[in-house]
């Protein structure tokens, strides 16, 4: 009992030191930017990708804990709205400079959408499929090697990973607007509430919450906070516009975990391990 009380006390102590606002990173088609989760109206630029004029977009940002870089999916040599050469790009977290890592061929033949770093797998996870439905979850190595993970029954345009509970969520803003808990072991999904045409998202371990932008036809995009334990329906809180005068071109979100949040995750894992004993 004393051990359980100690763990609980440490969780509270560490959690109390973590601010309720933190820096979140985002990408446009050409730049890495950042802003405060409590004040999304003020956006600052980290740096340009400098990938060249043949690149038209980069989207679905993920922070890779294994090498300390961001990763995204790129489009270059675009021929029409549906066809471009799809690539994996690595983005320097300090400068925004990007490097092409892998070439995945034409986007209307095999499409990659959504990307997150999954702690339990120690790898980037993406969704692969045809241009209309990316139903297969796959892992992607730091060098761009793709391996099948699990086939699902839904289109996974966007995904987020809850590193505290080891849960993956996905949604399809072009189809059934549901926030879905995806079981990567079986491919099955559980609906947890309306996704309200969300774009990309990211999980904050220090706040134990998800942050997404809501896609709009006119700039700027709206920033929202989402809370769920993976069982109960999501609760959504509106925060504000991303950039008061612009940034309707946000295409991805990601956090860089802080030391305090990593400590909180470690203590959470320890508590979970003790509960299983």
Q: How do residues 24-44 score in pLDDT, each as one tens digit?
A: 999 999 999 999 999 999 999
Torsion of CA 175, 118, 192, 127, to 10 degrees: 20
Q: Give the closest residue to 32 by CA, choosing from 52, 47, 14.
A: 47
Give the pLDDT confidence score for residue 261 in this predicted structure. 57
Exposed/middle/buried for 117, CB within 10 Å: 0-12, 13-18, 19+?
A: buried
Mean pLDDT throughout 77-90? 96
What distance in Å separates the CA atoms of residue 18 and residue 20, rounded to the nearest whole number? 7
- For residue 5, give both structure tokens: 């009380």
DSSP string of 19-73, one letter each residue: -S--EEEEE-SSEEEEEETTEEEEEEEEEE----TTEEEEEEEEEETTTTEEEEE
Whether residue 16 has pLDDT greater than 60: no
Give the pLDDT confidence score for residue 17 in this predicted structure. 40
Whether residue 6 has pLDDT greater than 50: no
Question: What pLDDT band is residue 219 in, cutting at 50, 70 and 90?
Answer: low
Q: Give the closest residue to 160 by CA, choosing from 136, 194, 126, 188.
A: 126
What distance in Å separates the CA atoms of residue 147 and residue 123, rounded to the nearest whole number? 11
Q: How do residues 122-132 score in pLDDT, each as one tens digit?
A: 999 999 998 88
Whether residue 201 has pLDDT greater than 50: yes
More confident residue, 17 or 258: 258
Residue 204, Cα to own-chain centre: how many angstroms? 10
> Helix, strand or coil for residue 242?
coil
What is the torsional sign of CA 189, 194, 198, 201?
Answer: negative
Q: How do residues 252-270 score in pLDDT, each as one tens digit?
A: 999 999 876 555 555 544 5
Beta strands in the chain (DSSP E): 23-27, 31-36, 39-48, 55-64, 69-80, 83-91, 98-106, 111-118, 123-129, 136-140, 146-151, 158-162, 167-171, 178-182, 189-194, 198-204, 209-214, 222-227, 235-241, 252-254
| Range of lowest pLDDT (95-104, 179-188, 256-265) | 256-265
Q: Which helix (H) or strand (E) holds 15?
A: helix 2-17
């Amino acid at each position: 009992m004393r051990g359980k009380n100690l763990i609980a006390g440490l969780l509270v102590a560490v959690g109390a030191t973590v601010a309720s606002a933190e820096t979140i990173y985002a990408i446009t088609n050409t730049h890495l930017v950042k802003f405060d989760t409590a004040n999304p109206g003020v956006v600052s630029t980290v740096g340009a990708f400098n990938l060249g004029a043949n690149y038209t977009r980069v989207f679905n940002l993920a922070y890779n804990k294994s090498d300390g870089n961001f990763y995204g999916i790129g489009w270059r040599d675009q021929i029409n709205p549906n066809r471009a050469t799809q690539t994996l790009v690595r983005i320097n977290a300090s400068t925004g400079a990007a490097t092409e890592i892998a070439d995945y061929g034409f986007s209307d033949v095999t499409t990659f959408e959504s990307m997150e770093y999954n702690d339990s797998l120690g790898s980037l996870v993406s969704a692969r499929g045809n241009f209309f439905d990316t139903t297969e979850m796959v892992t992607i190595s730091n060098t761009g090697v793709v391996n099948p993970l699990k086939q699902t029954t839904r289109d996974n345009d966007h995904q987020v990973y809850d590193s505290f509970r080891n849960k993956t969520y996905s949604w399809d803003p072009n189809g059934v607007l549901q926030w879905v808990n995806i079981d990567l072991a079986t491919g099955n999904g559980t609906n947890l509430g309306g996704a309200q045409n969300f774009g990309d998202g990211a999980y904050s371990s220090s706040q134990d919450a998800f942050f997404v932008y809501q896609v709009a036809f006119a700039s700027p995009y709206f920033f929202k906070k989402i809370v769920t334990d993976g069982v109960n329906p999501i609760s959504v809180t509106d925060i504000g516009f991303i950039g008061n005068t612009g940034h309707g071109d946000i295409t991805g979100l990601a956090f860089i975990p802080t030391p305090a949040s990593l400590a909180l995750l470690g203590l959470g894992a320890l508590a979970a391990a003790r509960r299983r004993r």
